[in-house]
Structure 1
């Protein structure tokens, strides 16, 4: 009898181990969030992110986490594990009326996880192209979809601009508009995200396999329209700058969505087997003291969204592991090593038991599990981007590379600046003139990447009428 009991226990242990071998994955992507605009970084005591703070404290905070300097390129890098220079996604963003998107020969993170048995859902912003049906989320590895296809829109009425005056509705459920006007128009987007994400979790069938839930928020992208009145009360009402207060209110509401997602995972009995990833897509659009943008703060970093200074590309990020994944993703750790947005695909696919490179074009991302679990150095170099076309006078940085502690920036006038971003995270001391050999060394690396860049995909608008609803038109 004892032998049989031991055998039964062993079988139960093996079954539990197998059940726990593939975590549920929840990926939270904030939009234009400032480096300073989370509780664990905030210097001004003017933001409220208790749910994110709790997950960060009980997970591993990534202090040198890097993205692309603007939205669409970051989302392309996240989904492909490849630098945007590889697939023409390196310049600016996709306008709603422009006929291009993330190339169809790319295998996305959602595709890979789905092939590993995951149920997949996106609740939020897509912004990787929708001019043809094959570019939509349900054709690119997602089983469920709630949210909008384009880059920005009204938080309540979900209208996205066509030109200076005309707008079209951009809000969809499983790529249809059924019930949207009746049920969603006039409802603040974060409330719709919360309901959509919680519904996905609570309706998840464990027999269907693990869950991959991707939640790319609208907050805190400009224009910062009104926010529900209750979120302008304590504790953000004391923020004296009215625009900064609006930013904090939108962020507080987004944090509530995170709280609701976490509570749903716990109620469903999934939290112990869940890995939660958090990051912003790039730095804030404008400094706290500035006039315009989304009034985010990248303090103490130099630069803003669209720039390759630290404030544009270094963002707040963490990864949280439920109790059954604490050995791989420890709690209460702060890691200072390099981590790039392209690293999520190989890291998460490996965590899910897959081969990251299988079915993909050559990856730039690296599997960071040894770094997360044992603090082993995995990445020593990051190519930030190369953008061949100037977007505006306040976007002077054209290319940048980081190797170890050193960062080299190339401007559109071909000037080079060199910084030690460990000793000088504010990038205030240009060492290029004093260290020509280091400039030459990093420049050789940077120019190699630039020489590998493919032409940009960006296309001019070819939709010349006001759409009532934004959806594929080719």
Structure 2
């Protein structure tokens, strides 16, 4: 099992949606397998990663409000049972992660090796410098718990080490799980000169955003080359037919780069389709015929139950916590599969409870409520919230607000949103900016596995 995760890659930023972007290797996963046309994620990255690892909406355990920035003393709760932990009980001896973790980095108890993985090669924080391999001026590049002095372009290093690990892991008499969360194409916008020359058109770009967009294209092109290395490694194992490869982005593209989410409305950090519906495809030659397409609503929380089922287990028997994800294999292998009754929730509250975004999709309808924390349906009529209702079956790009025409539908869906928002515990991750002033990163972002609860990094004495 190989899961490839892009970072901030918009709907319109993959070749099989837009020929301007050169992604032949990603395109081959779609062509040789199945495109997931209604695949949803959280509107920002840490929550998507948390839901992927647990099969649960991250709001349940406090990981939904905001991402985990460098100064945050917070991580994926160790009480959660993760995907690699479940796979370990099902014979997956080698479970590697290559790239960006972003689920806790200031205590060793949140390290990937403490959360079910057997091998880690990459960085703890998001938004690292791609060449210096650093965050906030401090090197953030590791193999296991040890800081690595490896040099190179982050995207290349991630792909190369993942490919090498796949070839070695396949030699064992056991299946493997390889998770490759690329940092690309997240900012800072950095790419090797040869990649910019090959994939971008920097000399003709006018203005800062247009220049960044050309570098963004180069970052995606270089990431696609890395995907190609990984696919080649899978071929070398001789097990390509029975190796599942799943590709998607952790959220939609940013809003300041022209057209990268078109024709969808919105962008990263919004609950519009452009922020939460991402390019996704899966290849599994032994089970999925080439050239298939799936329009069932599905997403990040479905990876755990799907992969555990493929591994021969039952995810709910491996945890006592309620799961929100479902096994998608029946939807992939049956023409009569119907996921239309399922409610799908999105939430974003990075600036705090005074300004939140909630959305629910069910039976072709989508309700979006933006404003202060939603606790009572009466709030929808006091002027404090923006309320939008779309019929996605007829208006996938969210252009016609039907709130006035369908008040009963609004109330029905809003009640479900209130219940979902109420799941967030009091000790959830704080709003993004809390605690940022004066933070001093730890040297080399180093963690000590012998002291898993020790807090690293902090603030200068007053």
Q: How does 1:154-165 map to 2 (within 5 A)?
A: 154-161=129-136
Q: Of 50, 55, 58, which residue of structure 1 is paired with 2:24?
A: 50
Q: Which residue of 1 aligns with 2:175?
A: 210
Q: Is the 8 A contact 1:197 1:215 kept in 2?
A: yes
Q: Of 224, 230, 240, which residue of structure 2 is paired with 1:255?
A: 224
Q: Which residue of 1 aligns with 2:284?
A: 321
Matched, 1:400 2:375: no
Q: Which residue of 1 aligns with 2:138?
A: 168
Q: Is the 8 A contact 1:406 1:420 kept in 2?
A: yes
Q: Which residue of 2 aligns with 1:220?
A: 185
Matched, 1:442 2:401: no
Q: Is the 8 A contact 1:366 1:379 kept in 2?
A: no
What is the deviation of 1:287?
4.6
TM-score (norm 2): 0.88
Distance in 1 between residues matched to 2:27 and 2:256, nearest whole Å: 22
Q: Which residue of 2 aligns with 1:36?
A: 12
**Mind listing any 5+ residue stretches in structure 1 that lack a counterpart?**
1-24, 162-166, 290-295
Q: Which residue of 2 aligns with 1:11?
A: none
Q: Of 113, 121, 127, which residue of structure 2 is paired with 1:146?
A: 121
Kindly tell me the number of residue pairs found equivalent between the two proteins: 425
Q: Which residue of 2 aligns with 1:416?
A: 387
Distance in 1 between residues matched to 2:226 and 2:333, nearest whole Å: 28
TM-score (norm 1): 0.86
Q: How does 1:42-441 map to 2 (within 5 A)?
A: 42=18, 45-118=19-92, 119-161=94-136, 167-177=137-147, 180-181=148-149, 183-184=150-151, 187-225=152-190, 227-237=191-201, 240=205, 241-289=210-258, 297-322=260-285, 325-326=286-287, 329-360=288-319, 361-375=321-335, 376-378=337-339, 380-387=341-348, 390=351, 398-412=357-371, 413-441=384-412
Q: Is the 8 A contact 1:303 1:309 kept in 2?
A: yes
What SS does structure 1 have at the residue aligned with 2:389? strand
Q: How does 1:7-18 map to 2 (within 5 A)?
A: none
What SS does structure 2 have at the residue aligned with 1:448? helix
**Mind listing any 5+ residue stretches in structure 2 that lack a counterpart?**
372-383, 448-453, 456-462
What SS does structure 2 have at the residue aligned with 1:444? helix
Distance in 1 between residues matched to 2:41 and 2:262, nearest whole Å: 17
Distance in 2 between residues matched to 1:47 and 1:397, nearest whole Å: 33
Q: Which residue of 1 aligns with 2:376?
A: none
Distance in 2 between residues matched to 1:47 and 1:266, nearest whole Å: 25
What is the deviation of 1:242?
2.2
1:258-285: per-residue Cα shift (whole Å, max 9, x none)?
A: 1001111111212122000011000001
Distance in 2 between residues matched to 1:71 and 1:278, nearest whole Å: 15
Q: Is the 8 A contact 2:84 2:116 kept in 1?
A: yes
What SS does structure 2 have at the residue aligned with 1:306? coil
